Amino acid sequence: MSATLAVPRSGLFRRLLENPGAVAGLVIMVALIILAIAAPVIAPHGPAEQFRESFLTPPFQQSTFPLGTDSLGRDILTRLIYGARLSLLIGAVVVALSLSIGTMLGLAAAFAGGALDVAIMRLMDVLLVFPSLLLAIVVVAILGPGLTNAMLAVAVVLLPGYVRLARAAALGELTREYVVATRSAGAGVLRLMLLVVLPNCAAPLIVQATLGFSAAILDAAALGFLGLGAQPPTPEWGTMLADALQFYQRAWWLLAFPGIAILVTVMAFNLLGDGLRDALDPKLRR
Amino acid sequence: MFRLLTRRLALIVPTFIGVTLLGFLLIHSIPGDPVEVRVGERGISAERLAYFRHELGLDQPLWKQFLDYEGQLLHGDLGRSVVTQESVWTEFKTFFPATFELSVCALAFAILVGLPLGVMAAVRRGSALDYGLIGISVTGASMPIFWWGLMAVLIFSVALGWTPVSGRIDDLFYIEPRTGFLLIDAWFSDEPGAFRSAVRHLILPAIVLGTVPLATIARMTRSAMLEVLGEDYVRTARAKGLAPGRVVVVHALRNALIPVVTVLGLQVGALLGGAILTETVFAWPGVGHWLVESVQRRDYNVLQGGTLLIAVLVMLVNLGVDVLYGVLNPRLRH
């Protein structure tokens, strides 16, 4: 079945490595994963540890606090490193939720057709009418603020993209001969859906999932900034920025570093996603 | 053209019902009875509770409540704010011009800078300008705009003192809200310096809000132009001896605009979402600020009504984009 994949795997990886942006994204991503896993070893202090003699220490002055401390005397670098854990967790949970549910809904719509198809796609149209952050805010307002609810909210917001992609890709495959052949050989619907059609719809979904990581991290940080996401003292980057609001005019480092962390992480996943799309879709390459 | 319009209008009805149903169900899934929430911890006798529930129609079956709600909406009644007792529509009308003004200026900034940048990058493909633009668009698309807004305040307002930190106009001025659009009202007011003050307050938020659309527009324009510049008719136009500028602007750009207009339409939702963050950063008294406050005050009527109005707005803009698309691309009219 994998022979019908347009791109052999080795060629895909080689093409990805030819794209400098994708390589940069990949390197940053690997670095972040290492940071996240080894946070307790790498980080100089504990994420909630307070140094009462060192409030608002500027960065690059004391070797104990390379990026300075916040208004409660906590080490910024440490909190950023622990924040990488949260951001990757947020990305992974949100993408896992929206990818799996979205793909199932999209495949169901494509296979069932008729009323179910119309119902699912109309519902997605309705979700798409709301600006994504606003929808996330409404969902969090109902479920209550917090990291878990913020992740659920962002997963809901990202759902329509996967449903539409999965449905479109599956509809394209359904009329192909190999599907018709497998069906006439007596394969059940579930087998057809998950083992026959899905692997051949994977390419656009993988790209969307990579880009979904960055959208999830960005939206969750925005919710954290609005006070609706992770709650203090969680070292989530958006929440750290919300904490900084009171002091940022005289302590720029409270603002600068968490924002750079968000920007670089989001950019890494965007670059990787764009690179994957170019590598997976030879038609787009010129 | 007429058929395109009617077909699109017909599609709006089920979406509208879906949007109201979703909003209705979401708000109704909030735990706690609205009456009990309102009386708080004082408690209330069973008869009074039943009376108030009846008063608000909460003892009706859910489908009946939804139909009543739809009926209210059709009469233009979006309910009242629990906090201010003002009607949601009135509040929306006061806050919306500020958001509209900000969004229009942000979009204007994004188009005026993004479109020429995209065209120039495509014409000089592979140049330093091209690579610079790609860098800007990748960064812009990944930008957490609430952070970018705060950094802009820190640099341009706090450190350099070029623009004010927040608000729409200096406290010195009182401008009678005639149109609600402060730039216009200030221009026609007698107060010297009011217009200048309004512009100085607007510049930074507009640039911040316009950054993400700028990145998207520049990127789309570049790729659409690259595609069009390789077409036969562009080669023909060049071969005819037309001035290079004319070929680029009249022959190529006009056709490259079609995908750009679509992306522009999609930006409106993103703009309204971004306005929530930008308005929070700059204490800009617009709809986004109002909605975030409604969440913090647990004013669910405002949240429900305001969200619905924004959704309707996005639907109307999408309709407008589709129609514009038909005008730009005659092949789609049928």
Q: pLDDT of A215-250, one tens digit each? A: 999 999 999 999 898 888 888 999 999 988 888 888
Average pLDDT over residues A179-199: 87
B141 touches chain A (CB under 8 A): yes
- Tell me which H or E stretch contains A19: none
The pLDDT confidence band at residue B165, using thresholds 50, 70 and 90, is confident
Average pLDDT over residues B159-177: 81
Residue B230 pLDDT greater than 80, yes or no = yes
Task: Report the amino acid identity of residue B257.
Answer: L
pLDDT (0 to 100) of residue B327: 75
d(CA A150, CA A94): 9
d(CA B200, CA B216): 26
As given in the structure block, the two tokens for residue A132 are 């994504």
Give the count of alpha carbons within 13 A of A162, CB side only.
Answer: 28
Residue A262 pLDDT greater than 90, yes or no = yes
Most confident listed range (A151-160, B254-263, B269-278): A151-160
Query: ipTM for the complex?
Result: 0.85
d(CA B274, CA B301): 22
d(CA A35, CA B331): 53
Q: Strands (DSSP E) along B3-67, which ranges? A: none
Would you give the distance in Å from CA A87 to the centre of its chain? Answer: 8
Query: DSSP for B234-294?
Result: HHHHHHTT--HHHIIIIIIIHHHHHHHHHHHHHHHHHHHHHHHHHHHHHT--SHHHHHHHH
A30 touches chain B (CB under 8 A): no
pLDDT (0 to 100) of residue A9: 58
Average pLDDT over residues A26-55: 86
Check A258 against B274: CB less than 8 A apart: no
Average pLDDT over residues B101-114: 93
Q: Between residues A51 and A178, which one has the greater pLDDT?
A: A178
Residue B208 pLDDT greater than 50, yes or no = yes
Which residues from B are below 8 Å from A141, CB to CB?
295, 298, 300, 303
B130: CB partners within 8 A, 6+ apart: B121, B122, B124, B222
pLDDT (0 to 100) of residue A145: 87
B139 touches chain A (CB under 8 A): yes
pLDDT (0 to 100) of residue A1: 41
Nearest CA in chain A to B156: A249
The pLDDT confidence band at residue B45, using thresholds 50, 70 and 90, is confident
Q: Which of these ranges, A185-194, B22-31, B274-283, has the smallest mean pLDDT?
A: B22-31
Q: Between residues A136 and A65, which one has the greater pLDDT?
A: A136
Residue A101 pLDDT greater than 90, yes or no = yes
d(CA A7, CA A29): 24
pLDDT (0 to 100) of residue A285: 47
pLDDT (0 to 100) of residue A283: 58
B43: CB partners within 8 A, 6+ apart: none
Check A142 against B154: CB less than 8 A apart: no
pLDDT (0 to 100) of residue B42: 67
Q: Between residues B284 and B35, which one has the greater pLDDT?
A: B284
- Please list the residues that pair with A28 across neighbouring strands: none
Do A156 and A135 contact (CB within 8 A), yes or no? yes
Average pLDDT over residues B248-255: 82
Q: Between residues B243 and A93, which one has the greater pLDDT?
A: A93
B309 touches chain A (CB under 8 A): no
Check A138 against B307: CB less than 8 A apart: yes
Instruction: Work out the minimum CA distance from A115 to partner chain B, whole angstroms.
Output: 14
Q: How far is CA B19 from CA B25, B239, B242, B272, B309, in A?
A: 10, 53, 51, 17, 10
d(CA B142, CA B110): 16
Which residues from B are below 8 Å from A140, CB to CB?
295
- Give me the residues of B, 155-214, that contact A with CB < 8 A: 158
Do B164 and B200 contact (CB within 8 A), yes or no? yes
CB pairs under 8 A between A and B: 120
Residue A93 pLDDT greater than 90, yes or no = yes
The pLDDT confidence band at residue A274, using thresholds 50, 70 and 90, is confident
Average pLDDT over residues B150-173: 85
Nearest CA in chain B to A266: B142
Q: Share the mean pLDDT of chain B.
A: 84
Query: DSSP for B208-235?
Result: HHHHHHHHHHHHHHHHHHHHHHTSHHHH
Do A128 and A171 contact (CB within 8 A), yes or no? no
Residue B216 pLDDT greater than 60, yes or no = yes
pLDDT (0 to 100) of residue A4: 47
The pLDDT confidence band at residue B169, using thresholds 50, 70 and 90, is confident
Average pLDDT over residues A127-145: 88
Q: Which of these ranges, B11-15, B222-226, B305-309, has the smallest mean pLDDT?
A: B11-15
**Cα angle: B144, vertex B150, B156; to 5 degrees:** 125
Residue A3 pLDDT greater than 50, yes or no = no
Which residues from B are below 8 Å from A222, CB to CB?
144, 146, 277
- Please list the residues that pair with A62 across neighbouring strands: A65
> Which of A141, A214, A228 lies closest to B303 in CB terms?
A141
In 3D space, the residue among B248, B202, B250 whose CA is nearest the CA of residue B225 turns out to be B248
In 3D space, the residue among B244, B308, B315 whose CA is nearest the CA of residue B89 turns out to be B308
d(CA A51, CA A66): 14
In 3D space, the residue among A11, A29, A9 whose CA is nearest the CA of residue A21 turns out to be A29
pLDDT (0 to 100) of residue A154: 93
Mutation pick from B142, B157, B296 vs chain A, by most beta carbons of A within 10 Å, is B142
pLDDT (0 to 100) of residue B32: 65
The pLDDT confidence band at residue B332, using thresholds 50, 70 and 90, is low
Nearest CA in chain B to A141: B295
pLDDT (0 to 100) of residue A104: 94
Determine what percent of chain A falls in helix, strand and coil, rounding each to the nearest 5: 75, 0, 25
In 3D space, the residue among B243, B209, B248 whose CA is nearest the CA of residue B228 turns out to be B248
